[in-house]
Amino acid sequence: MQRGIYRQDTLIGDVLKGTLLSYSQVFFSNSIAFAVLLLLASFIYPFIGFCGLTSVLVTQGTAALFHLNRQFIKEGVWGFNSLMIGMALGSLFQFSVPVFVLLVLASISTLVATVWVFGILQKYALPFFSFPFLLVIWLIIIAARQFNAIAVNDDQIYWMNGLYQWGGPGLLEFYQKINSVHLPLMLEVFLKSLGAIFFQNNIVTGTLIAIGLLVYSRIAFSLSVLGFTSAYLFYVLMGANVADLTVNYTGSNYIFAAIALGGFFIIPSVYSYLLVFFLTPVLAIIMLGCSGALAVLQLPSYSLAFSLFCLLLLYFLKNRTRGTKLVLVQWQNYSPEVNLYKQLVSTTRYKNASYFSFQLPVWGEWMVSQGYDGSITHLGDWAKALDFVILDEQMRSYALVGAKKEDFYCYNKPVVAPGAGWIEAVVNHVDDNEVGDVNTEDNWGNTLVIKHAWGLYTKLAHLKKDSIQVKPGDYINKGEVIAHCGSSGRSPEAHLHFQVQGYPVIGAQTMPYPVAYFIERDGNKHRFKTFETPKEGTFVSNISVNPLLSNAFGFVPGQKMEFEEQNETGEKITNEWEVFIDSYNNSYIYCHTSHAYAYFINDGVMFYFTEFYGAKKSLLYHFYLSCYKVLLGYYDIIQIEDELPIQYASKNILLWPHDVIAPFVQLVKVKYNLQYTEVDDIHNSGSIKMHSSVQTTFGGKNIDEKKFEITIENGKIQQFILIKNNIQLLSAICR
């Protein structure tokens, strides 16, 4: 979903779109198709449908008039409770002018209640479910007892009269035919429960909703079946009347709870399915309890049990300090499938987004002579530290015989700031040891502590005497030379000690923390590492950022690009792209031609796309695929690899059956690979070529592969082409 985008559509368009989406919002969806189907289903009882629609329109209009959150208007967030109010009133009362007045007032009240409940619950980052609806409907039911002008609707009871009146004997016959189809009891109850969500206790509405649900999400559908089955079995076990499930929202509670907990607010997984199956009986108890309590006031409990149950459970889960099971959805995609597929990718992709980005504190290639939990000195509270030295081809750290400290390759080499920050502490007076000597008195020797953020410090130790060129309070940039490697303190041979710590004092205990990006060499093999801790015995070096790549991918808000696209038929389309930034400080490229959005992050070393919204035929989509992850340094010795969410799998594969099993096992994978192939001059690049591919695999077997060739020239992305099965399908040239 496009959130907080600065570009705005017309108000009336947003209001109407939100009106429609209020229907799918009831089912946690933002699918327009599903909304249309639900709208139609609501009109199976035309009066109920009419009341629902009127109510939503009144609410949306009021929300627009009072300038409520525009995005919520557009998404139908304000409207779905009113939809339920409207349909509930339609099912309770017969049409009359007073009822219409009541309907309008109820809708506005629901909006007010929605804003209020939203305000309370958003502080806990919890959804407001259908509490606004419940508050208003109960008040109206109680109040309506005093309104003599309002007649109770008995259409639902004398349904066939109405049908006859409305559609003649033909319709009645048709209806009877459908109803006479003998369905297994469980299925019939299931469909009626679905129908009851729209206050329509019949199989036709239920079937329509069921189809809509299936089209919207296979996971949601399978969850609704699971939750319902669990409840059904519990009723049978407890000897309760299963027919009660169809009355007044009872069955719907189980269906809603199953979708909400199984896949919408929690990432679908084996655990979420088990949760749904085993906690549904608890929901049944809550529901019977609520109904009993409300019976005193002669009020139906509607969806109270579901709302309460989900709210409590989510609040409970949110208060876990850690947990890899039952992961809560952080960013709502309004689809259990998308929630799942994005989560699968983002656990590996964005796990590092919150880390401060450190580089190695040296230039050139160094070896990690002692890693975390090293056996020599990285012990106890000081275990998470790294020691670096320089080795030659014979794996020696010194020239000649290594008799003098100056013979050691790393001695007196520049030490650079691992990250920007303020100098916190400096020790600069300790003499360097001769080879083999240790100074346990001044254990750390000459030392620098840099403050990068509150509670995040780095320490560089055993530096050369008088080599520290900064003083406490100085601000230093990442990569600036700040000292030279030495052999002071507890250091029998020259080496550099590097650690991350939570406190500013020199003797502070270490804290495990990764280095953002580096190249690891193992023999002749080079590997690109992101947010990992260099391992003992490996050769590591920093990424050197290429100015051409950094320029070409350094999209700044307001930047405009024009790409001339030529597809396989030779047709030429001019695509106009513009870079925007939204209110959450996320950058994206918007295509004025195809109205697609591609969100990206550029952290100076890495450029990567995070989200794409729009048509999969658009040029921007292909650009999104081709440059899904780009290292801004030219390295032909490594490959950049990543995974795309499964919804970007090739169309050659039918994802629906896969969706059903996806919470448990994923057979489909979409793999991304990027390789740099050509550069004219590595130091002062004017032209760079790279190849990327997006591969769909099923059970490890390659099904489809899109290849891209990207040319960067004249300081920009000059051209990219799409090749599939050796045929050039698409080319785009920047103008």
Partner 1 sequence: MEKLRYERPAIKKLNAGLMNKFGTRTEYAPCTHIDGVAVKDLIKEYGSPVFVISERTIRKTSQNANRAFKTRYPKVQFAWSYKTNYIDAVCNVFHQEGSWAEVVSIFEYQKAIDNGVPGNKIIFNGPEKSVADLEQAVNNGSFIHIDHFDELYDLIELTGRIKKKAKVAIRVNMDTGIYPMWDRFGFNYETGQAWNAITKIMASEYLELEGLHSHIGTFMLSTQAYSIAASKLSDLAVNIKYKYNKAIHYLDLGGGFPSANTLRGSYLPGADVIPSIDDFAEAITSTILNYGYKTEDLPLLILETGRALIDDAGYLLGSVLANKRLSDGRRATIMDFGVNILFTSFWYEHKITPAQEFSQHTEDMVMYGPLCMNIDVVRQSVNLPLLNKGDQVVVHKVGAYNMTQWMQFIAMRPKVILIDMDGKPHIIRENETVDTLRSMERKPDYLKKFKL
Q: Does 480 bind partner 1 (CB under 8 A)?
A: yes
- Name the token pair of 556: 């700044």
Among 141, 233, 425, 481, binds partner 1 (CB under 8 A): 481
Instruction: State yes or no: residue 393 binds partner 1 (CB under 8 A).
Output: yes
Q: Which stretch binds partner 1 (CB under 8 A): 347-355, 479-487, 557-565, 641-649?
A: 479-487
Phi, psi (deg, nearest 5) at residue 682 = -65, -30
Sheet harboring 639-644: ordered strands across? Answer: 629-631, 606-613, 597-602, 587-591, 572-581, 560-567, 727-734, 716-724, 701-713, 687-698, 668-679, 639-644
- 363 near partner 1, rule: CB under 8 A: yes
The SS3 of residue 550 is helix
Q: How are beta strands 446-453 and 366-370 bridged, if at all? A: unpaired
Collapsing DSSP states into helix, strand and coil, what is residue 536?
coil
Decide: 559 and 569 in contact? Cβ < 8 Å.
no
Q: Give me the least distance between CB of 698 and partner 1, in Å please.
A: 42
| From 176, 657, 680, 702, residue interacting with partner 1 (rule: CB under 8 A) | 680
Ranges within 217-256 binding partner 1 (CB under 8 A): none
> What residues pair up with 531 in beta bridges, in sequence order?
none
Query: What are residue 440's phi and psi, to 5 degrees?
Result: -80, -15
Among 364, 507, 537, 657, binds partner 1 (CB under 8 A): 364
Minimum distance from CB of 682 to partner 1 (Å)?
8
Partners of 600 in beta bridges: 587, 609
- CA torsion angle for 304, 307, 309, 312 (degrees, to 10)? -130
Q: CB under 8 A: which stretch of 42-50, 369-377, 409-417, 628-636 binds partner 1?
A: 409-417
Site for partner 1 contains 36 (CB under 8 A): no
Contact positions with partner 1 (CB under 8 A) in 292-321? none
Instruction: Specify the stretch interacting with partner 1 by CB under 8 A; choose among 99-107, 202-210, 659-667, 679-687.
Output: 679-687
Give least dist CB 390 to partner 1, A: 6
Q: Packing angle between helix 304-318 and helix 250-259, nearest 10 degrees? A: 20
244 or 365, CB closer to partner 1? 365
* Residue 636 contacts partner 1 per CB under 8 A: no
Residues near partner 1 (CB under 8 A), total: 23
Site stretch for partner 1 (CB under 8 A), options 350-358, 359-367, 522-530, 610-618 = 359-367
Binding of partner 1 by 544 (CB under 8 A)? yes
Q: Which stretch binds partner 1 (CB under 8 A): 308-316, 516-524, 573-581, 678-686?
A: 678-686
Pull the structure tokens for residue 373. 């939990």
- 486 lies in the site for partner 1, by CB under 8 A: no
User: Is 409 among the residues that bind partner 1 (CB under 8 A)?
Assistant: yes
Q: Does 559 bind partner 1 (CB under 8 A)?
A: no
Does 399 interact with partner 1 (rule: CB under 8 A)?
A: yes
Stretch that binds partner 1, among 174-182, 240-248, 279-287, 404-412 (CB under 8 A): 404-412
Contact call for residues 299 and 291 (beta carbons, < 8 A) = no
Here's the x/- map for partner 1, 412-431, by CB under 8 A: it reads as xxx-----------------
b/e code 391-421 from CB counts within 10 Å (16+ = b):
beeeebbbeeebeebebbbbbbbbbbbbbeb
Using an 8 Å Cβ cutoff, are 691 and 709 in contact? Answer: yes
Q: Which residue's CB is nearer to partner 1, number 392 or number 603?
A: 392
Check binding of 519 to partner 1 (CB under 8 A).
no
Stretches 408-416, 423-431, 454-462, 664-672: which one binds partner 1 (CB under 8 A)? 408-416
Number of other residues whose CB lies within 10 A of the CB of residue 182: 7
Report, in Å, the least distance between residue 363 CB and partner 1.
5
Nearer to partner 1, 169 or 523 (CB): 523
Does position 392 bind partner 1 by CB under 8 A?
Answer: yes
Angle in degrees, 0-180, between the axes of helices 11-25 and 46-65, rounded to the nearest 10:
130
- Rounded Cα–Cα distance for residues 504 and 162 (Å): 79
What 3-state DSSP class applies to 469? coil
603 contributes a contact to partner 1 by CB under 8 A: no
The least CB distance from residue 409 to partner 1, in Å, is 7
Name 659's Cβ contacts closer than 8 Å, sequence gap at least 6.
217, 218, 219, 337
Distance of CA 713 to the CA centre of its chain: 34
Query: Is the CB of 469 or the CB of 533 nearer to partner 1?
Result: 469
- We find the least distance from the C-beta atom of residue 349 to partner 1, in angstroms, to be 29
706 contact partners, CB below 8 Å, separation of at least 6: 625, 650, 693, 694, 695, 722, 723, 724
Which SS3 state, helix, strand or coil, does residue 1 take? coil
Q: If binding is defined by CB under 8 A, does position 602 make contact with partner 1?
A: no
Nearest residue (CB) to partner 1, 531 versus 539: 539
466 touches partner 1 by CB under 8 A: no
390 is a contact residue toward partner 1 (CB under 8 A):
yes
DSSP string, 142-166: HHHTT-TT-PBP-TTTSHHHHHHHH
Tokens of 683: 């130091």
Considering only residues 126 through 165, tell me which ones interact with partner 1, judged by CB under 8 A: none
Of the two residues 290 and 415, which places its CB atom closer to partner 1 in the complex? 415
Q: How far is the CB of 541 from partner 1 (least distance, A)?
A: 9
Among 410, 548, 627, 631, binds partner 1 (CB under 8 A): 410
For partner 1, the closer CB: 359 or 696 = 359
Question: Which residue number, 469 or 728, has a Cβ lying nearer to partner 1?
Answer: 469
- Least Cα distance to 709 among 627, 589, 646 occurs for 627
Instruction: Between 552 and 619, name the residue whose CB sits nearer to partner 1.
Output: 552
- 593 with 574: CB under 8 angstroms? yes
* Residues 696-735 contacting partner 1, CB under 8 A: none
Least Å from the CB of residue 407 to partner 1: 10
Q: Is 474 in the site for partner 1 (CB under 8 A)?
A: no
Which residue is listed with tokens 């399915």? 273
CB 412, CB 399: distance < 8 Å: no
Residue selected from 88, 113, 255, 362 as contacting partner 1 according to rule CB under 8 A? 362
Shortest Å, Cβ 271 to partner 1: 49
CB 688 → partner 1: shortest distance, Å?
Answer: 13
Question: Sign of the C-alpha dihedral, residues 359, 362, 365, 367?
Answer: negative
CB-neighbour burial class of residue 425 (10 A; exposed 0-12, middle 13-18, buried 19+): middle
Question: Binding residue for partner 1 (CB under 8 A) from 94, 122, 477, 677?
Answer: 477
User: Which spans of this chain sit near partner 1 (rule: CB under 8 A)?
Assistant: 362-366, 390, 392-393, 399, 409-410, 412-414, 477, 479-481, 544, 680-681, 683-684
